[in-house]
Chain A
């Protein structure tokens, strides 16, 4: 079991460029999440998907879009990158029926926008 995988690990973009961050999980979880981590601010939820076919905004959705491609995959798209989107992005998954309910995290994507 690979758990939660993310690609790429590192990315440098210029302002205005677009890119898609990929996330996949092999634990058959229904719920998936995208967070960003900034120094001193902890993890902030960008978007989440309760189940295949649904997505909802989190705390900081502006400038991002998501696609829940199937049960395994949940991608995050930056249409026009801005320096304020320089951050570490984490994907996570969880399952409602698990005890205890637990989020499992990917290794992160370190994004720099110049």
Chain B
């Protein structure tokens, strides 16, 4: 099946920028997503990018997509303690409505 890889942990100081990286293998991916999971909760869609875009900005969030290297990143500017959560990268290919998720990156924001 499709592989989506992420590093497991990231620790930053409050006010710094966070960059969470993801690589995927499916070259037919149409959409790529970032989901956020707060402790004890389900996953919530944070942002997405269509495969023909290179960049998408949404307030403090910047998504960069390098299709050639199959690399997706999420940058959170001015990271706050409320951003502490697990962030999942996901991709959707052409296959029906199936989504493939990475293992999640646990972001720890230190005051």
B73 within 8 A of A: no
| Contacting residues, chain B, for A103 (C-beta < 8 A) | 43, 45, 90, 99
* Cβ 8 A contact of A42, one of B31, B42, B98, B103: B103
Q: Are B101 and A108 in contact (CB under 8 A)?
A: no
B98–chain A nearest beta-carbon distance, Å: 7
Q: 1/0 per residue A93-106: CB within 8 Å of B?
A: 01010001111111
Taken together as a complex, chains A and B put the C-alpha atoms of A85 and B41 apart, in Å, by 19
Interchain CA distance A105-B6 in the complex, whole Å: 21
Q: Are B31 and A101 in contact (CB under 8 A)?
A: yes
Cβ of A50 under 8 Å from chain B: yes
Question: How far is B50's CA from A57's CA once the two chains are assembled, in angstroms?
Answer: 27
Looking at the complex, which one of B4, B97, B102 makes contact with A101 (CB distance below 8 Å)? B97
Q: What count of chain A residues pass the 8 Å CB interface test? A: 24
Q: Which of B42, B48, B90 contacts A107 (CB 8 A)?
A: B42
For the complex, give the distance between the alpha carbons of A11 and B100 in Å.
27
Chain B hits for A48, CB < 8 A:
98
21 interchain pairs (CB within 8 A)? A35-B101, A40-B103, A42-B4, A42-B6, A43-B43, A43-B101, A43-B104, A50-B97, A59-B1, A90-B43, A100-B33, A100-B48, A101-B92, A102-B45, A103-B43, A103-B45, A104-B45, A105-B35, A106-B42, A107-B41, A108-B40
Q: Interface of A with B (CB < 8 Å)?
A: 4, 31, 35, 40-43, 45, 48, 50, 59, 90, 92, 94, 96, 100-108
